[in-house]
Structure 1
C-alpha cells in the first residue's frame, strides 16, 4: 500500500508541474495598447484630416462674421458723432443684436465640432474593437485586454502585448478595403 501511495503522489506531482508549465507557457490572456492602436491606425489619420478640414471651414465662417461685425463697429465709431440720438440707439441695438447672433452661431459651431469629433473618434474605436474581436477569435484568445495608459493594466509581460501585431493586421485590412 505504501508503494501505491508513493506512485500516486509522484503521478500527482508530475501532473501538477506539467499543468503549471503548460498553462504558463501558453497564456491566452493578452492585451493591446488602445492609444497606440488609435494613433497608428491609418484610418485615424484620414478621419482626423477630414475632421480638421471641416472644423477649419466652420471656424473660418465664424471668423469672417466677426471681422464683418468689427468693421461695422469701426464705421459706427467713426460716424457716431454725426448721428442723431435715435440713430445712435438704433445702430447700437443692431450691433448688439448682431454680436449676440454671432456668439450664438459660434457656440452652435463649437457644439457641432465637438459632436463631429466624438462621432469620428467613435467610428475609429468601433473599427478597432470589431477588428480586435475578430483577431481574438481567429487566434483563439480567451481574453484580450485593452490598456489605455490610465492604470487599467499596471504590468504585463511584454510577450502578452499584441499591439504591434494587431496594428499591422488592422492596417493591412484597412488597405484592402
Structure 2
C-alpha cells in the first residue's frame, strides 16, 4: 500500500505539539516543557485501525487486479476468435472492419477502467492516510488533556531522532488508547473498515 507508507514519513517528523513551546514557572521565567515521543514503527504495526485499512486496501487492489485480468482474458479470446474467422474467410471486409473497431473500443474501455480504478484507489488511500493522522493527532490532544506535555514527537529507527530516554516513551499508553477508541468506534458504527478488510 504505497500511499499509506506516507504515514510513516509523516509520523517520523513531529506528530503533535501544543500551541506553547514552554511553560512559565512561578518566578515568571520560562522553563523548557517536557517533550515525549511515540515509536511510530510500533504504533503502525500495532494500531488496529491502520492494520485494517491496509488489509482493506490490499483486498480491494487484489479484486481489481483479478477483475482486470478476467476482462483482459475475455478480450484476448475475442481477438483470437476474430483472427480465426478472418483466416477462415468467414467474414466480409465490412464485417471484419466493424468487428475490429468494436475490439478496439473494448480494449480502450478496459484500459480506461483500469486507469480510473487505480486513481480511485489512490484517492481512497490518501483519504485513509489523512484519517489515520487526524485520529492520532486528535487522540494525542485528548491524551494531553491535563497539559502534561508540550510536544509529542514521532520516533523511528533511522529517523531524525538519534536518541531518546526510555522514560519519555509513551507509545504503549497511546497505542492502548487508540485501539480502545477504534474498538468503540467500530461497535458504534462510526467506522466500517474492519468489515471491508475481511472481504475477498
Scaled by the length of structure 1, what TM-score is found? 0.74
Distance of 2:107 and 2:124 partners within structure 1: 25
What corresponds to 2:152 in structure 1? 144
User: Does structure 1 residue 87 correspond to structure 2 residue 98?
Assistant: no
Q: Quick check: which one's helix share is greater? A: 1
What corresponds to 2:171 in structure 1? 163
Q: Quick check: which one's strand share is greater? A: 2
Higher Cα Rg, which structure: 1
User: Does structure 1 residue 65 correspond to structure 2 residue 71?
Assistant: yes
Distance of 1:149 and 1:112 partners within structure 2: 32
Could you tell me whether the CA contact under 8 Å between 1:136 and 1:144 is conserved in 2? Answer: no
CA shift, 1:72, in A, is 0.4
Higher mean C-alpha displacement, 92-101 vs 27-36: 27-36
Q: Which of 31, 48, 59 is the aligned partner of 1:53? A: 59
User: Does structure 1 residue 127 correspond to structure 2 residue 135?
Assistant: yes
Provide runs of 4+ in structure 1 moved above 4 Å. Answer: none
Scaled by the length of structure 2, what TM-score is found? 0.66
Which whole-Å deviations, capped at 9, do the CAs of 1:109-160 have from their partners, x for residues lacking one? 1101111111222222211111122212346111111235563323222222
Count of residues in correspondence between the two structures:
153
User: Does structure 1 residue 38 correspond to structure 2 residue 44?
Assistant: yes
Question: Structure 1 residues 102, 128: CA separation in 2 closer, same or farther (over 3 Å shift)?
Answer: same
What corresponds to 1:97 in structure 2? 105
SS in 2 for 1:137: coil
Higher mean C-alpha displacement, 68-77 vs 82-91: 82-91
Runs (5+) with no aligned partner, structure 1:
1-22
Distance of 1:125 and 1:38 partners within structure 2: 11
RMSD: 2.4
What corresponds to 2:162 in structure 1? 154
